[in-house]
Amino acid sequence: MKKITAIFILLYVVSFTAYSKTWIIASSSLEVKFNDQTNMLTVTDKRIQKAWQQTIAGEIFTVKNTSQRGNTLQVDFTGKNTFTAIFTLTSLSALEISLSADTKMPMNELSFPAAFKTPDKDHYLLYTDGGGFLLPADDTDYPLGNGRTFFCGGGTSMAWMGMTDTQFESGYMAILETPFDAALRTKRENGLVTFSPVWLSSKDQFAYDRKVTYHFFDKGGYVAQCKKYRDHIWKKNNVITLKQNEQKTPAIAKMIGGVHIYVWDNAREASFAAELKQSGIDKALILWNPNHTPYPKMGYDTQLKELGYATGTYELFTDLKLRDTVFRETDEKGPLRFALTSYPGKFNELAIRNKDGKTVSNQFGHTSNPIAIRPEMVKRIERELKEFKHESYFLDVYQANGLFEDYSTKNPLTRQQFAEEVIKNHKLLADKYGQFMGGEWGADYLGSGAVYNHGMMTLQRTWFGSDIQKKGTIYYYGDWKNNSRPTQMLGTRVAPDKYLRYSINEYTRVPLYDLVYHDAVVSSWRWEDGNHHNPEIWWKKDLFNILYGNAPLWSIDRNVWDAYKNTFIESYKNICPWLQKIGYDEMVSHRFVTADHKVQETVFSSGKKAVVNFGDTVYTFQGKPIKPKGFLLL
């Protein structure tokens, strides 16, 4: 009898495995259904009875086998790519989806799982482009990107993306647990924006297991999603706070609560810094770019330090020029003795190579290998620090331009290895030379290896490729023809419509990045998109700095300072004393106080609050009036 019963159970399991169409895993919060005929998931949030259903996959897969053990489903797929997907509903109601396959399986990219349908237009995509914003589900104009992680040209600054309703309660998010060869690709499906993970090959192969984790929310909106990502990424990347970083590098204290200033031409003088100090600009990080003359005089950094300012310089180790395929003499004592893209005769030794042997290039040059360039970094840094006693290096490009594979035989790299070597380069400058580090944009694979970034407040997709590049218009952002006084840094222009609609629009901007990193990294605008570059919206950029608790940025010479001196001083006094109070705090929350989003509030871990009024009329908050284009600090 026992033998017959065992055979019956075995036959039942085999039958169930072979013919079932819908598989269910569930917790107290979620019910996850997988249809092995359509290959589609439906996730129902039982707390609010809201269902998230997948769209039809772009790639065609066939289910070969499905099995279940507890709250784990294993599904074997065949098609263009053959792989196994494991769906696990954890005790915390997170849906983990892991993909495994033959590590040597040839592939270009694998799109799985498919996107979830956006229920209706009353939803926002939480777009992690730079500092982040809300993209209305029915938007038709924003240029959707390739979604590559850590790439400012259409990708994500952080390894997650989400969806929330317009009441900022229910939603879901996807966190890429294996982010280096991955993308979160956005698309418009039936007129509504959505997104899905895409797995890129590693050196043309599947290479290793991939994983994405979905979290579903019945309340909390974008703030809850940011905090979920914070819990994940701080542990994964060993992120530390600004206070902890300051214990290693005390000069960071001089940056916290200060304005970030790039100085040009006649502003590269200690007398100009003294004038700033006398004008009430008490705290600042002052940087200059050695690709442009004139250089400051010997002792410049020492004099800035005596005034209490943090000192730094712009650096660039990623770009190579074809002129350096041959050796040429350079003047290491001349006016451009620390020129940034000069490696005579070493081009072929330093350049990354594609599989076809060609270099990786863009309009700025050819990309270097972060291992190969390291000895050149050391040479230039050590020469420079003998003359200029910097406290900080801003490394351009590394945190903006994405990750690269190198097929060269001497220093081959996967994308993950590229990221790891970039991290080592930052750590080298920080640990060996006592520098605190900054970077362009702010891709977060670097963790807290850079303590400030320039560009997260500027949405890159509304910047590059926009009207700012149209010469002869009021929007044109200038050029670099004048080495000492580039108009791109020192000119002013009118903000184009796309920039106003997305990058500086209080209705849809939200501090996704600062809700994750405010107490670890100081964020700001791009250096050619500082607070003052569009004078007509200077006030609005200042309000965003107050609200988000991040740094204002100026690119100035004496002429620009003289032209707008009173406004610079007013801007500083409005923003920076506040930043000095909350600069080390976690941003706990952000909310829209009014339905039109004109009045907004942020709360910080010290209990301090900022309330700003982007509107044209007085608003009374808790009995206190806030004037138009004004703010209240509590």
* Angle at which helices 558-582 and 270-278 cross, to 10°: 60
- Record the pTM: 0.95
Residue 439 has pLDDT above 60, yes or no: yes
Instruction: With beta carbons less than 8 A apart as the criterion, state whether 124 and 133 touch.
Output: no
Residue 296, CA distances (Å) to 164, 269, 272, 274 in order: 50, 6, 11, 14
By DSSP bridging, strand 123-127 and strand 133-136 are antiparallel
Q: In this predicted structure, what is the pLDDT of residue 582? A: 98
HEC string for 363-376: CCEEEECCCCCHHH
Report the pLDDT averaged over residues 69-73: 97
Please give the Cα distance from 328 to 322 (Å, whole number).
12
Identify which of 87, 90, 54, 63 has the alpha carbon closest to the alpha carbon of residue 73.
Answer: 87
At 571-595, the pLDDT tens digits run 999 999 999 999 999 999 999 999 9
pLDDT in tens, 501-536: 999 999 999 999 999 999 999 999 999 999 999 999
Give CA–CA dist 510/513, Å, rounded.
9
Q: How confident is the model at residue 236 (pLDDT cuts 50, 70, 90)?
A: very high
Burial of 61 (0-12, 13-18, 19+ CB in 10 A): buried
Residues with Cβ within 8 Å of residue 573, at least 6 apart in sequence: 280
Q: What is the dihedral of CA 487, 539, 614, 577, to 10 degrees?
A: 120
Question: What's the pLDDT score for residue 357?
Answer: 96
- In the numeric block, the tokens 């200042």 are attached to 542
Adjacency order of strands within the sheet including 109-111:
109-111, 192-200, 182-189
* pLDDT greater than 60 at residue 9: no
How far apart CA 116 and CA 467 sit, in angstroms, is 34
- DSSP line for 586-602: -EEEEEESSTTS-EEEE
Strand 392-395 relative to strand 436-440, pairing: parallel
pLDDT of residue 290: 97
Instruction: Give the pLDDT score at 20.
Output: 57
Q: Assign residue 432 a region: left if phi > 0, alpha if psi is -120 to 50, beta otherwise?
A: alpha
Task: Give the Cα separation of 233 and 249 in Å (integer).
Answer: 23
DSSP codes of every residue in 508-550? TB--HHHHHHTTT-B----TTS-TTSSGGGHHHHHHHHHHHT-
**Quick one: how many helices (H) and strands (E) in the chain?**
14, 32
Look at residue 56 in the predicted model and tell me its pLDDT: 83
On the question of pLDDT at 600 being above 80, the answer is yes
What average pLDDT does the segment 213-227 reach?
98
What local confidence, expressed as pLDDT, does residue 21 receive? Answer: 87
pLDDT given for residue 18 in this prediction: 45
Question: In angstroms, rounded to a whole number, what is the distance separating the alpha carbons of residues 296 and 338?
Answer: 12
For 603, the token pair is: 């709360």
Asked if pLDDT for residue 358 goes beyond 50, the answer is yes
Q: Could you report the per-residue pLDDT of 81-90, keeping only the tens digit for each?
A: 999 999 999 9
Burial profile 494-533: b = 16 or more Cβ within 10 angstroms, e = fewer: bbbebbbbbbbbbebbbbbbbbbbbbbbbbbbbbbbbbbb
Query: Do the beta carbons of residue 156 and residue 173 sit within 8 Å?
Result: no
Residue 196 reports pLDDT greater than 50: yes
Domains of the chain from N-terminus onward: 2-236 (2.70.98.10), 242-584 (3.20.20)
CA gap 359, 36 in Å, rounded? 44
| Confidence (pLDDT) at 7 | 32
The tokens of 171 are what?
């939603």
For the residues 99-106, what does the mean pLDDT come to? Answer: 98
Q: State what percent of residues in the chain have pLDDT above 70.
A: 97
- Map tokens 């991955």 to a residue: 182
Asked whether 460 and 131 are in contact (CB, 8 A), the reply is no
Q: 610-632: per-residue pLDDT in tens? A: 999 999 999 999 999 999 999 99
The pLDDT tens digits of the residues spanning 256-306 come to 999 999 999 999 999 999 999 999 999 999 999 999 999 999 999 999 999
pLDDT (0 to 100) of residue 5: 35
Q: Which two tokens stand for residue 622?
A: 């808790």
Average pLDDT over residues 389-413: 97
Query: Above 80 in pLDDT, residue 11?
Result: no
CA–CA gap between residue 190 and residue 187 (Å, rounded): 10
Q: Which helix (H) or strand (E) segment is 100 a member of?
A: strand 95-100
The overall average pLDDT reported for the chain is 95
- Residue 106, preceding peptide bond in cis (omega within 30° of 0): no
Structure tokens at 240: 């530390």
Which pLDDT score, from 0 to 100, does residue 57 have?
77
* Residue that is written with structure tokens 């998109």 in the block: 529
Amino acid, res. 78: T
At 448-502, the pLDDT tens digits run: 999 999 999 999 999 988 999 999 999 999 999 999 999 999 999 999 999 999 9
- What's the pLDDT score for residue 492? 98
The radius of gyration of the chain's CA atoms, rounded to the nearest angstrom, is 26
What pLDDT is stored for residue 1 in this prediction? 41
For residues 119 and 225, what is the distance between their CA atoms, to the nearest angstrom? 19
> Per-residue pLDDT averaged across 208-235, rounded?
98
Q: What is the pLDDT of residue 464?
A: 87
Cα 335 from chain centroid (whole Å)? 35
Is a pLDDT exceeding 60 seen at residue 12? no
Work out the pLDDT band at 4, boundaries 50, 70, 90.
very low
Looking at the chain, the whole-number percentage of residues with pLDDT higher than 90 is 93
